A and B are shown apart, each in its own frame.
Chain A
């Protein structure tokens, strides 16, 4: 059973969203997603200042097996990409909800009204194998 922290929000495409104290969003991929991808060997994170719409491909995670896009859960401006992932892509495997975060975003909508899933709904979806 994969780990689905209760305090985060989720997307059907396996991103997680954390609301930080300053109101910005931290985004990564879920434990379920990293397990399905396998050992990550390369991550391309977005540069600060990039404008994203909800659903835009905003990062690439490559495992030994394949490359996968990461999609913006909501629209907004990129504040930062996680530079640590350039040399330590395995942080996503080891700590997907912590050191393996991928980007920070200043959202242009309220994340509570953006149609994101709560932990229970995402837990059901990932357990069903989607």
Chain B
């Protein structure tokens, strides 16, 4: 177990590598109840989120559609990353990170103050992520009757609310599956039922290697308030080129105009060893870069990482590991999606 944001989190239930492979090949379940579900309701909730989020919730026309976005400060620094889902015309549900939830609620609440939008954290909900190629098939029969039919119809990045339950076809592993918010008092029974059906309990250790193979950023490690989405590989989540004004937009436009943005890249280590956060990346173009996340990737059976490097960095770099410079290839994440390796090692 490890302490994180005031929560005790299981790192693994046995072999972390076996848990990783189970999610790539079959199905695993993660208890991610430390993450915070926040409901925004009211006629002005869409306008509020258009102002607060770098991505544009006007993309969420179909009911249940979800998107990924950063929450920015005025200077473009990232306060958090989150999933926003439009459940009804005037009802949005956000899922935010544990360590930042208090700050997020304060920030959202402050901007909601004069809008009439109610901001309600749903701490009574547990959150379980069931992930892997067999996840949906194994989880569907165990959902409450009111949820099973809408959940079975969900396309990727859509969600359905059914009574106290909320099922979204999203995840943080690069595999198919559901993230399921449910009343905390029934979560243990649902967890047990999943395990009885053959879904393997998985810890936060496997969650980290899976998300890194999937090329997904971790807030607080790959990005924080000192960097913007444009230098975190997240330009695709920012809608900059229309009339909408959002907090941080001016700073991002200015940064983009200056050019020479640092790049956020994937690395594949070419020798034995393990990339770790904060290792120095020697680029040969003047300035150094830095590894932000690194680990041993069980699917690739070698070490991979994410790194922030100078704009002119080429296809080959060196990473300093315990005083030695080891060669690494620069690649475009993701490394793995839906069980398939997408980069050359």
- A residues within 8 Å of B by Cβ? 38-39, 41-42, 44, 60, 62, 64-67, 86
Measured CA separation A62–B276 after assembly (Å): 11
| A-B pairs with lowest CB-CB distance, top 8 | A41-B296, A39-B17, A62-B274, A42-B274, A64-B16, A64-B296, A39-B16, A38-B16
Q: Tell me if B274 and A67 are in contact (CB < 8 A).
A: yes
B99 to chain A, nearest CB (A): 19
Q: Kindly name the residue among B11, B272, B322 whose own CB sees the greatest number of chain A CB atoms within 10 A.
A: B272
Measured CA separation A38–B2 after assembly (Å): 14
Task: Specify which chain B residues have a CB less than 8 angstroms from the CB of A86 in the assembled complex.
Answer: 272
Measured CA separation A64–B303 after assembly (Å): 10
Beta-carbon nearest neighbor of B324 in chain A = A44
Task: Specify which chain B residues have a CB less than 8 angstroms from the CB of A39 in the assembled complex.
Answer: 15-17
B173 within 8 A of A: no
Q: Tell me if A65 and B11 are in contact (CB < 8 A).
A: yes
Task: Specify which chain B residues have a CB less than 8 angstroms from the CB of A38 in the assembled complex.
Answer: 11-12, 15-16, 205
Q: Choose from B209, B272, B322 the contact partner of A64 (Cβ within 8 Å).
A: B209
Measured CA separation A38–B295 after assembly (Å): 13
Q: Tell me if B11 and A62 are in contact (CB < 8 A).
A: no
Measured CA separation A86–B271 after assembly (Å): 11
Beta-carbon nearest neighbor of B11 in chain A = A65
Measured CA separation A60–B12 after assembly (Å): 22
B212 to chain A, nearest CB (A): 10
Q: Tell me if B272 and A65 are in contact (CB < 8 A).
A: no
Measured CA separation A42–B295 after assembly (Å): 11
Measured CA separation A65–B296 after assembly (Å): 9
B43 within 8 A of A: no
Knowing that A39-B15, A42-B303 are A-B contacts, what are 6 other residue pairs whose CB atoms are under 8 Å apart, sorted by A's residue number?
Answer: A38-B16, A42-B272, A64-B17, A65-B11, A66-B276, A86-B272
A46 to chain B, nearest CB (A): 13
Sample of 13 A–B contacts (CB below 8 Å): A39-B15, A41-B274, A41-B296, A42-B272, A42-B273, A42-B274, A44-B322, A62-B273, A64-B16, A64-B295, A64-B298, A65-B16, A66-B276
Task: Specify which chain A residues have a CB less than 8 angstroms from the CB of B274 in the assembled complex.
Answer: 41-42, 62, 67
B175-228 interface (Cβ within 8 A of A): 205, 209
Task: Specify which chain A residues have a CB less than 8 angstroms from the CB of B272 in the assembled complex.
Answer: 42, 86
Measured CA separation A44–B273 after assembly (Å): 8
Q: Tell me if B322 and A60 are in contact (CB < 8 A).
A: yes
Measured CA separation A60–B322 after assembly (Å): 10
Measured CA separation A39–B206 after assembly (Å): 11
Mark interface residues in B270-287 (1 if CB within 8 Å of A CB, else 0). Answer: 001110100000000000
B27 to chain A, nearest CB (A): 20
Task: Specify which chain A residues have a CB less than 8 angstroms from the CB of B205 in the assembled complex.
Answer: 38, 64-65
Task: Specify which chain A residues have a CB less than 8 angstroms from the CB of B209 in the assembled complex.
Answer: 64
Measured CA separation A60–B321 after assembly (Å): 12
Measured CA separation A64–B15 after assembly (Å): 10
Measured CA separation A98–B322 after assembly (Å): 28
Measured CA separation A69–B301 after assembly (Å): 22
Task: Specify which chain B residues have a CB less than 8 angstroms from the CB of A42 in the assembled complex.
Answer: 272-274, 296, 303
A29 to chain B, nearest CB (A): 17
Measured CA separation A38–B13 after assembly (Å): 10
Mark interface residues in B303-345 (1 if CB within 8 Å of A CB, else 0). Answer: 1000000000000000000100000000000000000000000
Q: Tell me if B296 and A67 are in contact (CB < 8 A).
A: no
Beta-carbon nearest neighbor of A90 in chain B = B17
B1-33 interface (Cβ within 8 A of A): 11-12, 15-17
Task: Specify which chain B residues have a CB less than 8 angstroms from the CB of A67 in the assembled complex.
Answer: 274, 276
Measured CA separation A62–B274 after assembly (Å): 8
A125 to chain B, nearest CB (A): 21
A42 to chain B, nearest CB (A): 5
Task: Specify which chain A residues have a CB less than 8 angstroms from the CB of B11 in the assembled complex.
Answer: 38, 65
Beta-carbon nearest neighbor of A43 in chain B = B272
A92 to chain B, nearest CB (A): 13
Measured CA separation A66–B274 after assembly (Å): 9
Measured CA separation A101–B16 after assembly (Å): 22
Q: Kindly name the residue among A41, A42, A64 whose own CB sees the greatest number of chain B CB atoms within 10 A.
A: A64
Q: Kindly name the residue among A39, A62, A66 whose own CB sees the greatest number of chain B CB atoms within 10 A.
A: A39
Measured CA separation A41–B16 after assembly (Å): 11
Task: Specify which chain A residues have a CB less than 8 angstroms from the CB of B322 in the assembled complex.
Answer: 44, 60
B303 to chain A, nearest CB (A): 8
Task: Specify which chain B residues have a CB less than 8 angstroms from the CB of A44 in the assembled complex.
Answer: 322
